[in-house]
Amino acid sequence: MRCPFCGFLESKVVDSRPTDEGSSIRRRRECLSESCQKRFTTYENVESQPLFVIKRNGSVQAFDRGKLMRSIAAACDKRHVSLDQIEAAVSEIEQQLQGTMERQVPSDRIGEMVMEQLRELDEVAYVRFASVYRQFTDVATFLTEVERLIRNRP
């Protein structure tokens, strides 16, 4: 690592620790130049690859964590689901998507992942999301989904 003070190309790590969020590592370094020997801090982050969503109509757009957050929050509106629970669900989905190593993910897969998370969080929020996601056209379709939910309860 190049010293920011003298430009010397070699330094040693004096201390390493994760940041508060755990998403990067903070390293204290010391320049190995005999004339400098100053200390400086660097941060090491995992480089994440951009993720794209293939929409139902075939168009492709960048994954938007905020959009996912808003759609789950809308399904959970006026339910006893905290913002922390919603953020945890979004983080879980995003982590699963990043873990697949696929750069383009069909929106259907993301929708199913959201429904899986909502099923565990709140059944009413799950049915709300499912009604929009699966494009329920009548009450019978709605009822079928509710019956399926009741049958699959633990």
Say yes or no: 88 and 125 in one domain.
Answer: yes
Say yes or no: 41 and 64 in one domain.
Answer: no
Q: Are 5 and 33 in contact (CB under 8 A)?
A: no
Say yes or no: 85 and 17 in one domain.
Answer: no
Please give the residue range of the domain that contains residue 23: 11-45
* Within-domain flag for 84: yes
Say yes or no: 72 and 89 in one domain.
Answer: yes
Closest CA to 74 of 134, 131, 147, 137: 131
Q: How far apart are CA 127 and CA 139, in angstroms?
A: 12
* Within-domain flag for 2: no
Whether pTM exceeds 0.85: no
* Within-domain flag for 62: yes
Q: What is residue 154's DSSP assignment?
A: -
Q: How far apart are CA 46 and CA 50, in angstroms?
A: 12
* Within-domain flag for 31: yes
The token pair at 154 is 């633990």
* Averages of pLDDT over each 10 residues, the chain, 154 residues: 93 90 86 95 83 94 93 94 92 88 92 93 90 84 84 80
Q: Are 118 and 75 in contact (CB under 8 A)?
A: yes
102-to-30, 49, 50, 55 alpha-carbon distances in Å:
39, 9, 10, 15
Number of domains in the chain: 2
Say yes or no: 22 and 77 in one domain.
Answer: no
Predicted confidence at residue 150, as pLDDT, reads 86
* Within-domain flag for 4: no
Predicted confidence at residue 21, as pLDDT, reads 67
Say yes or no: 81 and 112 in one domain.
Answer: yes
Tally of CB atoms within 10 A around 129: 22
